[in-house]
Chain A
Amino acid sequence: MSAGPGPAAGSGDESLKPGNGGEAAEAPPGDRLSELRALLLAAEHQQVVQIQERLDDPRTRAEDVSRVLTEAVAIRSGQDHSLTDSLLPTVEEAIGISVKRHPEVLADGLFPVMGPAIRKSIAATLADMLETLNQALGQSFSKKGLQWRLESWRTGKPFSEIVLLRTLLYRVEQVFLIHRKTGLLLAHVSADGANVQDADMVSGMLTAIRDFVRDSFGGAETDTLDAFRVGERAVWVEQGPDAALAGVVQGNPPRELRAVFAETIEKIHRDMARDLEEFEGDAAPFEKCRGDLEACLKSQRQPGEAGATRAKGARRYAPLIASLAVILAAAGLWTWTTVRRDRRWGRYLEKLAAQPGIAVTASGRRDGKFFVKGLRDPLARDPGALLASEKLRREDVVASWKPYQALDDEIVAARARSALAAPATVRLRADNGVLFAAGAAPHRWIEEARALARTIPGVSRYDDRDLADADQKALDSALQALEARRIFFARGSSDLAASESAKIAAAAREIAALPALGSAAGKEVRVEVVGRGDSEGSDEANLALSRRRAEGVLAVLRARLPSAPLAATGVGSAEPLAPERTEEEKQLNRSVSFRGVIAGPRAPEAAR
């Protein structure tokens, strides 16, 4: 093998292959150089070939990357968020495609975590609500709460705003992402309840004010308005090269918030660099920044409010528990009172329904009061009087009654008593249209009642068989007393004994009363003076003697009662008062007695 001048070394691989070395003696000079190179660099060449093959083989390359991928991801993730940010669009797109194509795969994968996630979310929401409610109650009933209400009233601000002012250390109410060059709004987010004006115009004015301040106080172009304060609110502005982030903060924000703003505007510049540079007024691409901006809507309560409250453990629920207890007690009392009133009202309605002469047509509760409507006979019991028996107050009940004439037996009887002006001695009872009268009544009333009874509504028949005529009774009694009187005479004599004169005087008084009694009873009364004699002697003699005796008594009575309807008659021994078995019985027949004569029947005929 020798070296010498010759054509340029061939570059073909075939010439470098070690397998060709056996033909080197016959090879031309160029081939000899290749052979020499093969002898000197065979091992390295082999390695280069192998490396080339590895690089050319995608599978081998993938295997190589897979060996370091995990470690590389871990290292980069520890350094910053750029890997996450880079992967985010791809992962989001992949998930989106997966959901569209195979929704069941994602659903199956999420299934085990969805239940706990939902429960956790609900629990967190409830806890937050409870906390808010507890605070609201605490604030409402506490001395501090009353002060805040007073302040709300004095300043005209809503109570909720005063509470926020006094309990929040700070709260980021709004965040504006503003294009620095034009002052146009790129994106805007706000917290719940924040007072939000037209964000586009506010963004413009913020930029104008920034320019105004810089121009007015001679700042350089790069100088900016970082913060300004208005009352309870501060506006913090964090500038970036192409956009500014302005946060409206209520209260006193900590310095750390400035760092949050700064990180956010930096991230937006990193993520949206191209969109910011090419911004021509279309803010749509910046919608994706909303998440970053919403992360800036931070708030923190004063330690004395939320933090300390939590540290108090169970005590923090004291106002809530106390309030709930009060509410429950009030509800229980209200329920008990309502049920009791409803029961009383029910009993009252039952009583009303049972009352004769009252017909309830509607009842219920309206505007916090009971009401009852219906028909009422004027003679029925006063419905209002029944309220007291059920301990219901008249002012709690609205009653409306229309008058009508009831046909209940009790009401018919009462109506008859009223219409007939029945005396207290008369008892009236109605039964199915029949009016029964009992007791005693003057003769005239009885007559009038008979005439009027059937004209009374509800009375179809009148029955007074059990009603006594009081005047007739008085007349009968007077006659009975008069007829019991005896004026005695001596045997065979018609002379009045002195002892009998008093009897005649008494009889005269009784006779004098008879016309009035008879008139009341509707009767004409006459009195016959009847003379008698015993059976001794002849009948003619006895008859004559008896007439003299009667006329003697009549004469005495006439002297006292000149116009009295009196007549004298003698019956001899024909109508003996006693059978004369003894002398005493004979004496009874030697007398004058009185007989009342009534024109018409002595006892009234009962009406049927």
Chain B
Amino acid sequence: MIQKKVCMVGAYAVGKTSLVSRYVKSLFSDKYHTTVGVKVDKKTVEADGRTLDLLLWDIYGEDEFQKIRDSYLRGSAGYVLVVDGTRRETLDRAVVLQNRAEELLGKVPFVLMINKADLTDKWEVETDAVTDLGGGGWPAFKTSAKTGEGVEEAFQALARKLVAS
């Protein structure tokens, strides 16, 4: 059994906790977000014939008032960037966070989850904007915490990258 530390980062209220609470194993209460600022959960995935335990550090959402602690990001083998598809500014925040993560962790695997795919009629994030990110190298997934769309695929993709790295 291989374990990997994976951080989930994104702007405030992009739906990270909803993704986590429905699709991973939780032990701790959500109140940890408002106290410690992070909640550790676990998701077991199969990738390339190997079983991985992803220890997901669900870090509170960053906004203009509070910043993600670098110490929480340290030691991560990969990370998940989460964006709210109905709020364009969350994509900008994700770009900032990705730069900071890369600065801190180096070029480790990550995936971009564009959340709230069930509300595409209200989307502000354009496909072109996502495609252009990182020179087109960002692995992006439309996800919905409500319907589950794209969630497993995104975690699978990240797991494969972690195994390969």
Contacts from A to B (Cβ < 8 Å): 179, 181-185, 197-198, 200-202, 204-205, 208-209, 211-212, 214-215, 280-284
Is A185 within 8 A of B69, CB to CB? no
Contact indicator B2/A204 (Cβ below 8 Å): no
Tell me how far the C-beta of B53 lies from the nearest C-beta in chain A, rounded to whole angstroms: 6
Set of chain A residues within 8 Å of B27, measured between Cβ atoms: 197-198, 201-202
Interface flags for B85-117 (1: CB within 8 Å of A; 0: not) read: 000000000000000000000000000000000
Interface stretch of the complex, out of B11-19, B73-81, B149-157: B73-81
A212's contact among B38, B76, B77, by CB below 8 Å, is which?
B38
The count of chain B contact residues (Cβ–Cβ below 8 Å) is 27
6 residue pairs, one from A and one from B, having the closest CB atoms? A204-B40, A182-B75, A211-B71, A181-B75, A182-B5, A281-B2
User: In chain B, residues 121-146, which have Cβ atoms closer than 8 Å to a Cβ of chain A?
Assistant: none
**How many inter-chain contacts with C-beta < 8 Å in the A-B complex?**
74
Closest residue on chain A to residue B69 by CB atoms: A215
B118 CB within 8 Å of chain A: no
Q: Is the CB of B77 within 8 A of A182?
A: yes
Instruction: Check A181 against B74 for contact (C-beta < 8 Å).
Output: yes
The reply to whether A200 and B74 contact each other, CB–CB distance below 8 Å, is no
* A208 B1 Cβ-Cβ under 8 A: no
A400 to chain B, nearest CB (A): 60
A215 to B72, CA, bound (A): 10
Nearest-neighbour CB distance to chain B for A350, whole angstroms, equals 69
Q: Chain A residues near B55 (CB, 8 Å)?
A: 183-184, 200-201, 204
The answer on a CB contact under 8 Å between B36 and A212 is: yes
Q: Which A residues are in CB contact (< 8 Å) with B42?
A: 198, 200-201
Give a binary string over B1-43; 1 marks a CB under 8 Å from any A CB, 0 the rest. Answer: 1111100000000000000000001011000100011111110
Which A residues lie within 8 Å of B75 (CB)? 179, 181-184
Chain A neighbourhood of B76, CB < 8 A: 182
List the A residue with the shortest CB-CB distance to B38: A208
B3 x A184 contact (CB < 8 A): yes
Task: Please name the residue on chain A nearest to B52 by beta carbon.
Answer: A281
Q: Can you name 23 A-B residue pairings with CB atoms under 8 Å? A: A181-B74, A182-B76, A183-B5, A183-B40, A183-B57, A183-B75, A184-B3, A184-B55, A184-B75, A198-B27, A200-B55, A201-B40, A205-B32, A208-B36, A209-B36, A211-B72, A211-B74, A215-B71, A280-B77, A281-B3, A281-B4, A282-B2, A282-B3
Inter-chain contact A283/B71, CB cutoff 8 Å: no
Residues of A within 8 A of B28 (CB): 201, 205
Q: For the complex, what is the distance from the CA of A561 to the CA of B29, rounded to whole Å?
A: 125
Complex Cα–Cα for A198 and B53 (A): 12
Q: Are the CB atoms of A281 and B69 closer together than 8 Å?
A: no
In the bound assembly, the distance between CA atoms of A197 and B28 in angstroms comes to: 10
**Chain A residues positioned under 8 Å from B38 (CB to CB):** 208, 212
Does A283 contact B37, Cβ atoms closer than 8 Å? no
- In the complex, chain B residues whose CB is within 8 Å of the CB of A284: 1
The distance in angstroms between the C-alpha atoms of A264 and B90, with both chains bound, is: 47
A193→B55 CA distance, assembly (Å): 26
Closest partner residue, chain B, to A186 (CB atom)? B3
Write out the residue numbers on chain B whose beta carbons fall within 8 Å of the beta carbon of A182: 5, 75-77
- Distance A202 CA – B38 CA, assembled complex (angstroms): 13
Residue from A211, A214, A281 within 8 A of B77 (CB atoms): A281
> B4, B28, B42, B76 — which one has the most chain A CB atoms within 10 A of its CB?
B28
**Separation of A74 and B150 alpha carbons in the complex (Å):** 66
Among B3, B32, B74, point to the contact of A283 (Cβ < 8 A): B3
Smallest CB-CB separation from B37: which chain A residue?
A: A212
* Separation of A197 and B38 alpha carbons in the complex (Å): 18
Shortest CB distance A285–B (Å):
12
Q: Which residues of A contact B3 (CB under 8 A)?
A: 184-185, 200, 281-283
Q: Report the separation of the CA atoms of residues A184 and B2 in the bound assembly, to the nearest whole angstrom.
A: 10
A281 to B2, CA, bound (A): 5
Bound CA–CA A124/B75 (angstroms): 47
The answer to whether B69 and A198 have CB atoms under 8 Å apart is: no
In angstroms, how far is the closest chain A Cβ from the Cβ of B16?
15
- A298 to nearest B CB, angstroms? 27
